[in-house]
Amino acid sequence: MSSPEHIKQPLTKPDIGLSEFVALMAVMTSLVALSIDAMLPALHHIGQDLQINNAQDTHLIVSMFFIGMGFGQLYYGPVSDDKGRRYAILSGLIIFAIGSVICMLAESLTVMLVGRVIQAFGVSGPRIAALAVIRDKYEGEAMARVMSFIMMVFILVPMVAPSFGQAIMFWASWRHIFSSFLLIGLLVGLWFFIRQPETLPKEMRQPFSWPQLWQSSKFILTHKLVMFYTLSMGLSFGAFLAYISASQTIFQHIYDAGELFPLYFALLAFSIGFASFINGTLVMRLGMRTLCTWAMIGWLIFSSLLLTLCWFYAGIPPMWMFVSVLFCAFFCIGILFGNINAMAMQPLGSMAGLGAAIIGSLSSLFSVPIAVFIGGFIEQTVTPIAVGFCVFGLISFVFYWKAE
């Protein structure tokens, strides 16, 4: 029987306490954010070195990463349930390293995108298996609470990653951003290998078989609550991903922020981290559904406000208005993401690995086309961002509401 906080008894005796566990899981999952956000200040230089004629094609360096993650999560979900969480994490880090080397040596956009897909495929192992490890140890509101604290640590990465990438470029080439990924991946792998035991004993593993995969996938894909929450998450994240992919264009070209771009990006990332902290303190008292409902409403209100400002100021609101409204909107996003993911995972039990894979893969595969679609309209104004937030936020709210 679960404790009052729904904390499951550990399957193996853990060697690390909660604080180190949260830090380790946050660092592993933050490899995704690091691989994306550290590249943002370098996109223009990469475009010049690789002779990319259309500046908007550099956005593919960000968006194609999520295609690799979509397929990687589908692979590592069953692998995590079959061979264990440690195998999925360590093998994924090796593939991540191979992709980083390909990107580091790329001489064309095609090779760069291939490397990014391989890199993303590999980093899916730590991301999916880390979620499964958390699900092995916690459930319900306790899982949402732990996820919120992990998100709070995790969000520090996008706050500092653009500055990290810009600092590397100050001293060296953009290619050394990828060599830093190699070093960080190695250190994270050693930390995990030495400190975190396996959380899925052999007797509880689900050996891979196509019939079993079909049955488990059918259960997940036909589960109304899981799928509606997944659709809701994918649609809202698609609009958010459009902002991330085009953030350099928005701040450095539309608003001419120059080298202050990492600071504005960090400020908005702090909003999400602050929301995750608030969520971690309130979720046990108010519940995930209540917090998410208010966050969804807030997201729509601030998105509508941004669209109104874009109409009033011909697509370019004053910087302070734009950043202020986004800060509030992203606070709502910070409440949404951890909770919706936890609610989607809740019914899956021993299928947590495959469930995390399907949820993550589908949400990524939904979000990438949305982000590419919105990003294709971002040239001289931020109106496409506001329209995307409103339209896809509203559709996301419909699926979220139907989940219950």
Q: Identify whether the C-beta of residue 275 lies closer than 8 Å to the C-beta of residue 331.
A: yes
pLDDT at 208: 72
Q: What is the pLDDT of residue 121?
A: 95
Over the stretch 154-208, which tens digit does the pLDDT of each residue have?
Answer: 667 777 888 899 899 888 899 999 999 999 999 999 999 998 888 888 888 777 7
Write down the pLDDT at residue 15.
54
pLDDT at 43: 86
Q: Which domains does the chain have, with CATH numbers?
A: 18-402 (1.20.1250.20)
The predicted structure's pLDDT at residue 6: 45
pTM over 0.75: no
Phi-psi region of 316 (alpha: psi -120 to 50; beta: other; left: phi over 0): beta
pLDDT of residue 141: 65
pLDDT for 178: 94
Residue pLDDT, tens place only, 25-42: 888 888 988 998 898 888
Q: How far apart are CA 101 and CA 92, in angstroms?
A: 14
pLDDT of 13: 43
d(CA 46, CA 53): 11
- Stretches where the chain sits below pLDDT 50 are 1-14
Residues with Cβ within 8 Å of 383's Cβ and at least 6 positions away in sequence, in order, are: 307, 310, 311, 315, 377
Alpha-carbon distance of 306 to 295, in angstroms, equals 16
